């Protein structure tokens, strides 16, 4: 898609590619022989795979801050950085995980405590990578209540212990990442040539109350987070970053988003149509930034229609494989790769080539 492509051409291209959808969907019914052929010799790197943080839980408790706990079975997998995790990977044919901490909490701590806890967590991740360097890599967790310190921690993690970037979960104490306060982090990421993974986080309390406050607590939590809410919020978060000019100031900055693009593939044409004309200061159309500054991953989305939509809008060059372990199943994520009706070349890009290039694995 050219940066000079207008609204009509952009919509037309999307519509033409969509005409092939029924045939491609039918093609998802591949034979067991074809699936076996795809499995043979294919390196698989999963890039959104999570770990537990007892340090953070203890710090939040000491500060009197409520923290949501994972169910025991999930917590056990989060905290396993050894034999159990490796066995799960081996059973599904996953060669490498990029480890990260997902979830809010760190930013709620005071500045000094947040900086110290982030460093402790990153040192824990570094030890896990050191113990299994052929199986694990890592994204740093950053103390974003102190952006200058966060930038310094990112530089430490990348230059001293070989981390591949950082993962940030949602808004930071109610602030989106287009806030100028976070520019030191983006400047550091661009200088270091590492991506930022923007993972969803729970909505700010005022949003939660307005949208979900009248619902039973379990339903409110699910609807506001993994069932719907935090996916569309993350998509909107990226659009805010685009229209705020983040990528004109940091043109080499790369952002990863999960969950098959956080609903952006389905809605990007309309967002581009409505937003581009309102932002004449931008150097390219809104949609173009998603071809120059964003990658998406397959985390937790393992069915054909969202995969095909993502391929048609973003293309295989901008997609990476992820599971969202242990909140999603390694086996289910890998099964999608085995049955996906995409070319061997595109499959190789998604399973390992794009990750190897972007993360220097």
User: What digits encode the pLDDT tens for the residues 317-341?
Assistant: 999 999 999 999 999 999 999 889 8
Q: 24 lies in a domain?
A: no
Helix ranges (H only) for 205-329 are: 205-212, 217-224, 229-243, 246-249, 259-262, 264-275, 286-292, 304-313
Could you tell me the residue range of the domain that residue 81 belongs to?
A: 32-359
Task: Say if 19 falls within a structural domain.
Answer: no
Q: Is residue 25 part of a domain?
A: no
Work out the percent of the chain whose per-residue pLDDT is above 90.
85
Predicted local distance difference test score (pLDDT) of residue 67: 82
Is residue 165 a contact partner of residue 195, using CB atoms and an 8 Å limit? yes
More confident residue, 213 or 12: 213
| Across 214-231, average pLDDT | 96
For residue 72, what is the domain's CATH number? Answer: 3.20.20.140
In a domain, 64, yes or no: yes
* Phi, psi dihedral angles at 305 (to 5 degrees): -60, -50
φ, ψ (nearest 5 deg) of residue 50:
-105, 160
Say how many Å lie between the first and final Cα of the chain, rounded: 28
Structure-model confidence comparison of residues 21 and 49, the more confident one: 49
Residue 29 predicted with pLDDT over 50: no
pLDDT-derived band at 174, boundaries 50, 70, 90 = very high
Task: Assess if residue 1 is contained within a domain.
Answer: no
For residues 89 and 49, give the distance between their C-alpha atoms in angstroms, rounded to a whole number.
Answer: 11
* Region 73-83 average pLDDT: 96
Query: Which carries the bigger pLDDT value, residue 33 or residue 333?
Result: 333
For helices 330-339 and 83-92, the axis angle rounded to 10 degrees is 20
Residue 180 lies in a domain: yes
User: How many domains are there within the chain?
Assistant: 1
Within-domain flag for 352: yes
Q: Read off the pLDDT of residues 196-221 as tens digits, 9 standing for 90 and up.
A: 999 999 999 999 999 999 999 999 99
Measured in degrees and rounded to the nearest 5, phi and psi for residue 5 equal: -65, 130
* Domain-located, residue 21: no
């Amino acid at each position: 898609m050219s940066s000079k492509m207008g609204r009509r051409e952009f919509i037309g291209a999307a519509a033409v590619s969509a005409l092939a959808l029924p045939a491609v969907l039918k093609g998802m019914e591949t034979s067991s022989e074809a699936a076996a052929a795809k499995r043979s010799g294919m390196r698989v790197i999963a890039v959104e795979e999570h770990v537990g943080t007892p340090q953070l839980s203890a710090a939040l408790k000491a500060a009197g801050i409520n923290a949501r706990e994972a169910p025991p079975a999930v917590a056990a997998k989060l905290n396993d950085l050894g034999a159990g995790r490796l066995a799960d990977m081996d059973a599904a044919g996953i060669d490498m995980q990029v480890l990260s901490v997902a979830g809010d909490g760190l930013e709620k701590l005071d500045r000094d405590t947040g900086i110290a806890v982030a460093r402790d967590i990153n040192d824990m991740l570094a030890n896990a990578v050191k113990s299994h360097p052929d199986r694990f890599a890592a994204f740093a967790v950053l103390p974003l209540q102190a952006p200058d310190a966060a930038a310094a921690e990112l530089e430490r993690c990348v230059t001293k212990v070989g981390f591949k970037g950082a993962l940030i979960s949602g808004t930071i104490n109610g602030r989106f990442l287009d806030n100028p306060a976070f520019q030191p982090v983006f400047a550091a990421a661009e200088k270091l040539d590492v991506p930022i993974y923007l993972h969803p986080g729970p909505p700010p309390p005022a949003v939660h109350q307005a949208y979900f406050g009248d619902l039973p607590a379990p339903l409110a939590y699910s609807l506001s987070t993994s069932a719907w809410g935090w996916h569309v919020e993350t998509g909107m978060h990226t659009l805010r970053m685009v229209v705020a000019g983040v990528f004109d100031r940091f043109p080499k900055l790369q952002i990863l988003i999960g969950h098959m693009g956080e609903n952006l593939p389905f809605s990007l044409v309309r967002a581009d149509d409505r937003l581009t004309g309102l932002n004449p200061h931008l150097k390219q159309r809104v949609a173009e930034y998603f071809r120059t500054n964003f990658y998406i991953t397959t985390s937790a989305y393992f069915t054909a229609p969202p995969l095909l939509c993502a391929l048609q809008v973003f293309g295989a060059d901008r997609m990476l494989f992820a599971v969202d372990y242990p909140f999603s199943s390694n086996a289910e994520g890998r099964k999608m790769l085995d049955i996906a009706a995409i070319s061997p070349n595109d499959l190789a890009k998604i399973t390992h080539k794009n990750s190897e290039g972007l993360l220097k694995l």
